Amino acid sequence: MSENLSVLGNARAGYKPKLPPALRNGTLKVLINSGAATESVRDQDKIKALFPNTYGAPLLTFEAAEDKQTAGGPLNVGVVLSGGQAPGGHNVIAGIFDGIKSVIGGSKLYGFLGGPGGLVDGKYIEIDHALMNRYRNTGGFDIIQSGRTKLESTEQFDKCIEVVKKMDLNAIVIIGGDDSNTNAAVLAEYFAAKKVPCSVIGCPKTIDGDLKNEYIETSFGFDTAVKTYSELIGNIARDANSAQKYWHFIKLMGRSASHIGLEAALQTHPNVCIISEEVKEQNLTLAQVVHSITKVVISRSEAGKNFGIALIPEGLIEFIPEFGTLISELNEALAHHEAKIKGLGDVAAMTNAACEHISPASATLLKSLPLDIQLQLMLDRDPHGNVQVSLIETEKLLIEMVTKELKNQSFKGKFAAQNHFFGYEGRCAAPSNFDADYCYSLGYAASVLVLHKKTGYMSSVRNLTAGVENWTAGGVPTTMMMNIERRHGADKPVIQKALVELKGKPFKYFAKHREEWARGEEYLYPGPIQYFGPSEVCDVTNFTLLLEHDALK
């Protein structure tokens, strides 16, 4: 028993993640089937011009073979954990580790420290059996840490080439979200153009759930993170229903898309859940969003219920069209005048300076907000140029505005609200069985792509609601998922973000039930993730996947 592991941690260390049948004979005995040439989702000509060496590669599907399909040879592979933590990252590394070690003795796995920055600076450690075994089935990215350095300059790419040559690397696996996988594709293209024989493979990570499409059914970490938040929301709902005196406004992480909020709503049945994509579709103003919440507060109060649960997606602000415009205008303004605006220090002065570079409507909106929200909107962007929405206290802003509207409407009931923000609480949770198996399979599939010298691919494991027995594995060309978007004041090739589809089954299910959930106390209390016990409790995945696959029983 390891002293550094809890009782559960020790028991969990022995869990053997399950692999799809195609990978069960080991990495050498995998037959690779190639499909036809592929195209990017949009902007084909522009993407093709930017990726002349890697564009158009075929989709790959794996099949178990009885005989060795390649001679194999000792491999040197480097792995990078990029961006926000997501449960299961250590199991992706374990999958790569076991995948390459099963090839031929002498293969080595190196972990670059602190994210993409570690790759550029050549800072790494070798991951050996003892180190790997301490991290199997654990949450977190602490085995080698993560970082948000954006790999984008030629200087960085040239430094990567020096590192690759010095370490004699056959491949780099980048475990990250849409931005990091875009960077992986750009790096793969650069290596190919410079004839550097080093593959670059990506793995789809993010609790936000917005890196998905026909070939990537879900990003890893979403399942565990939402189950963790839903446990907490269920506990709060029970508390609210017991004391019957508070409204709880709970903001949930997910920088852009509302997948986390929607899934948490499906798991817990709150009285209110705002879906940013719907707000945008209906062109709602902040005042209209506030009004929709106030209506529920009043009607519950009239029924004698001065309590409730409201879920707020972290990215809401950016989806309110007037705010979306304000934020993109501020992005442009900061991209060109950051030093001048930020140098002023005082919030009011910063706002005045920023207002010189944005439209009159946006300036009026910015000035109408509380000072702390004005400041939060002008704070640092992350290295990808995104506003740091997790720092904007939307839940408090909404409570303040609902209180104001209730006052204006001469509300006779009681409205006492508590605010919460769940994000970091779930990002490093021990992976659910689903994420433990999915991540290990993604890593193992990545090692097959590496072994076959494929580059510019993302590892893909599919058919995820049919049980691991029926999971399939393969590789998807990253350029296939790309389009051109405006980022940080410039047009960039990026992987298309998957937002909540209002015509999709998860949203429709929610929309069908939300009125009864608003009126009553239909709360579900999912409880903690179960790691041991009956399969129907431990191996169940999430409602989003089940509904998307028509697999909800």
The CB-of-314 to ligand FBP minimum distance in angstroms stands at 6
Tell the residue number behind the tokens 């089935």, with chain if given: 137
The CB-of-313 to ligand FBP minimum distance in angstroms stands at 10
The CB-of-209 to ligand FBP minimum distance in angstroms stands at 10
The CB-of-388 to ligand FBP minimum distance in angstroms stands at 7
**How far lies 218's CA from each of 438, 453, 538, in Å?**
10, 25, 19
The CB-of-360 to ligand FBP minimum distance in angstroms stands at 30
For ligand FBP, give the closer residue by CB, 252 or 402: 252
Catalytic residue among 98, 178, 179, 208: 208
Site for ligand FBP, rule CB under 6 A: 83-84, 86, 177, 206-208, 253-255, 314, 389-390, 427
Is there a catalytic annotation at residue 208? yes
The CB-of-389 to ligand FBP minimum distance in angstroms stands at 6
Is there a contact between 146 and 85 (Cβ–Cβ < 8 Å)? yes
For ligand FBP, give the closer residue by CB, 248 or 255: 255
Cα separation, 266 vs 230, whole angstroms: 9
For ligand FBP, give the closer residue by CB, 425 or 522: 425
Alpha helices in 494-542 (DSSP H): 505-519, 535-538
**Mind spelling out the 3-state secondary structure of 412-423?**
CCCCCEEEEEEC
Alpha helices in 210-320 (DSSP H): 222-243, 259-268, 276-281, 286-302, 316-319
Tell me the residue type at 237: A
Is there a contact between 88 and 218 (Cβ–Cβ < 8 Å)? no
Cα separation, 114 vs 123, whole angstroms: 8
For ligand FBP, give the closer residue by CB, 247 or 422: 422
In 10 A of CB 512, how many CB atoms? Answer: 9
In 10 A of CB 553, how many CB atoms? Answer: 4
For ligand FBP, give the closer residue by CB, 210 or 231: 210
Sign of CA dihedral 291, 297, 303, 304: negative
For ligand FBP, give the closer residue by CB, 83 or 140: 83
Is there a contact between 203 and 443 (Cβ–Cβ < 8 Å)? yes
For the chain, the residue count is: 553
Is there a contact between 210 and 498 (Cβ–Cβ < 8 Å)? yes
Catalytic site positions: 208
